[in-house]
Amino acid sequence: MTSAPTAPKPKAGLEGIIAGDSDICAVEQDTLIYRGYSIGELSEKAKFEDVAYLLLAGGKPSASELEAFNRDLVAERSLPDDAIDIIKRTATQPAAHPMDVLRTVVSYLAHFDPDCQDNSPEAELRKSKRLTAKIATIIGHMQNVIDGRDIVKPDPSLSHAGNLLYMMRGEKPTAEEEKIIDVSLILYAEHDFNASTFTGRVIAGTLSDMHGAVAGAIAALKGPLHGGANEAAMDMLKEIGSIENVEPFMQNAFATKRKIMGFGHRVYKNGDHRASILHGLGRAYADNKGADAQKWFEIGEKVQNIMSDEKGIFPNVDFPCGMTYFVMGIPVPQYTPIFVASRITGWCAHIMEQHSNNRLIRPLSNYTGPMGLNW
Ligand code: CMC
């Protein structure tokens, strides 16, 4: 019997392994860079649409490029009636999490996309814009169905972030709310070879299509160790419930080795720059809203202090996201779908990059089972 070639055994979870080259994003200990620009600067000076263009087209847009890109996004916002029907039939099923509905509808939309089987750069850019535009609409329509309200059609006069909130609620957001959602979309847009993006690249690496790769990425993002952490973090804060209960809750969590959701990171060991940006915006919003909203930040900040003092572990972006979306009145099960509304741009950029210089992604496993058994 000949054995497969041997390779050094990686750490569990492929920790520390560089799995390929990419021009899209650099995850640094103190910041995050999208195609050369830091998220600190992008979240102050850019809008989500600028960042989506930067990621998908490869550079900062000129004024006319941005105008054309915005026009394309707005034109692609509506959904085919059949897709709306799928949302109506699935969104209120007791077993259906909004991430599952989103995954199903994205997969279904493939059949209506004339470029579905075309992996050329031009076709993939068109599909990226359609997916970016339509995912926000799926989330909005889904929330309308869950709330029992008529479907709120997209408003072409609103930005991507403003329209997303408008479609979910049927009311136009304030400028502050629109800004917070816009910044959260910028912060969530891209994060190199994280689990969902890597999933998308593995699927794309077989020369499969963009919708399939995105459906797989949505499934990967749903898990509470990844994007699902923003929902899990807020569920945990609701379970804690009061400032008095933080200390006993945390000591019990430490004693039982329960993970504190929204904390820790595979790469960032001294904190996540995205978390401090979003925390600042969410805290200011809660302060303006009053004591009921402030309470959640007070509980969250106490959890943060105990985690950093006793464990040296810091919040990741999902922790302030949970509190911020909650005080804005966004239903918890939509937090991870909103993450998708942003990360779709990073996923599509990676799928295009994978297809532009493809080699099948096919690692080895370290076989630990028996050998030489007789049947
Ligand atoms: N609460 C309590 N202990 C923790 C936490 C946490 N959130 N995170 C890490 N640790 C401890 C862990 O128990 C382990 O301790 P020990 O060595 O004594 O067993 C040590 O730190 C290393 O943890 P790990 O789980 O092996 O680290 P990892 O690099 O495999 O995991 C992580 C990274 C993000 C999965 C993990 O920190 C975690 O489960 N966090 C909670 C879920 C979460 O917030 N996920 C969002 C990630 S960032 C944004 C995104 O992708 O959406």
Per-residue pLDDT of the chain (375 residues; tens, 9 = 90+): 555 566 778 899 999 999 999 999 999 998 999 999 999 999 999 999 999 999 999 999 999 999 999 999 999 999 999 999 999 999 999 999 999 999 999 999 999 999 999 999 999 999 999 999 999 999 999 999 999 999 999 999 999 999 999 999 999 999 999 999 999 999 999 999 999 999 999 999 999 999 999 999 999 999 999 999 999 999 999 999 999 999 999 999 999 999 999 999 999 999 999 999 999 999 999 999 999 999 999 999 999 999 999 999 999 999 999 999 999 999 999 999 999 999 999 999 999 999 999 999 999 999 999 999 999
**What domains appear along the chain, each with residue ranges and CATH number?**
25-220+333-356 (1.10.580.10), 229-327 (1.10.230.10)
Measured from the CB, is residue 210 less than 6 Å from ligand 1?
A: no
Catalytic residue of the set 191, 211, 318, 355: 318
Pocket probe mutation, ligand 1, options 263, 317, 340, max atoms within 8 Å of Cβ: 263
The CA-CA-CA angle for residues 330, 90, 325, to 5°, reads: 10
Q: How many CA atoms lie within 13 A of 63 on its CB side?
A: 0
In angstroms, the CA 86 to CA 91 distance is 8
Reduce the DSSP state of residue 26 to 3 states and report it: strand
Most ligand 1 atoms within 8 A of CB, residue of 225, 237, 303 to mutate: 225
Q: Candidates 236, 266, 347: which one to mutate for ligand 1, based on the most atoms within 8 Å of Cβ?
A: 266
What does the alpha-carbon distance between residue 83 and residue 250 come to, in Å, rounded to a whole number? 44
- pLDDT at position 1 is 52
| Predicted TM-score of the model (pTM) | 0.97
Closest CA to 265 of 302, 309, 317: 317
Cα(264) to centroid of ligand 1, in Å?
A: 5
- The minimum-distance atom of ligand 1 relative to the CA of 262 is 44
Question: Quick count: other Cβ atoms within 10 Å of Cβ 365?
Answer: 6
The kind and range of the H/E element at 94 are none
C-alpha to C-alpha distance for 217 and 204, rounded to whole angstroms: 11
Query: Do 31 and 40 touch, CB atoms closer than 8 A?
Result: yes
pLDDT at res. 220: 98
User: Strands of 32-34's sheet, edge to edge?
Assistant: 25-27, 32-34, 37-38
Residue 103 one-letter amino acid = R
Cα-to-centroid distance, 278 and ligand 1 (Å):
20
Centroid of ligand 1 to alpha carbon of 105 (angstroms): 31
What residue owns the CA closest to ligand 1's atom 29?
266
Nearest to 227 by CA among 268, 204, 194, 269: 194
Alpha-carbon gap, residue 221 to 195, rounded angstroms: 7
Q: Which atom of ligand 1 is nearest to the CA of 196?
A: 51
Verify whether ligand 1 is closer than 6 Å to residue 261 (CB atom): yes
Residue 321: half-sphere exposure toward Cβ, Cα within 13 Å = 34
Tokens matching residue 170:
């049927």
* Ligand 1 site, residue 211, Cβ cutoff 6 A: no
Ligand 1 center to 197 CA (angstroms): 19
pLDDT given for residue 2 in this prediction = 55
User: How far apart (Å, rounded) are the C-alpha atoms in residues 35 and 28?
Assistant: 13
Rounded-to-integer distance, Cα 322 and Cα 342, Å: 16
Instruction: Please tell me the distance from the alpha carbon of residue 193 to that of residue 346, in angstroms, as a whole number.
Output: 10
Instruction: End-to-end CA distance of the chain: give it in Å, rounded.
Output: 17
Q: Write out pLDDT tens, residues 191-223.
A: 999 999 999 999 999 999 999 999 999 999 999
| Listed residue (228, 215, 217) closest to 101, CA to CA | 215
The DSSP output letter for 262 is: T
Tell me whether residue 21 is one of the annotated catalytic residues. no
Residue 111 has a CB neighbour count (10 Å cut-off) of 11
DSSP 248-260: HHHHHHHHTT---
Q: What spacing in Å lies between the alpha carbon of 263 and ligand 1's midpoint?
A: 7
Q: Which atom of ligand 1 is nearest to the CA of 12?
A: 30
265: annotated active-site residue: yes
CA of 128 relative to ligand 1 center, distance in Å:
31
Query: What residue's CA is closest to ligand 1, atom 30?
Result: 266
Alpha carbons 334 and 195: distance in angstroms, whole number:
20
Using the atom order of ligand 1, give the atom closest to the CA of residue 13.
30
Question: DSSP for 190-252?
Answer: --TT-HHHHHHHHHHHTT--HHHHHHHHHHHHHSTTTTTHHHHHHHHHHHH-SGGGHHHHHHH
Cα angle vertex 101, ends 98, 107, to 5°?
A: 140
What is the per-residue pLDDT for 250? Answer: 98
What pLDDT was estimated at residue 9? 82
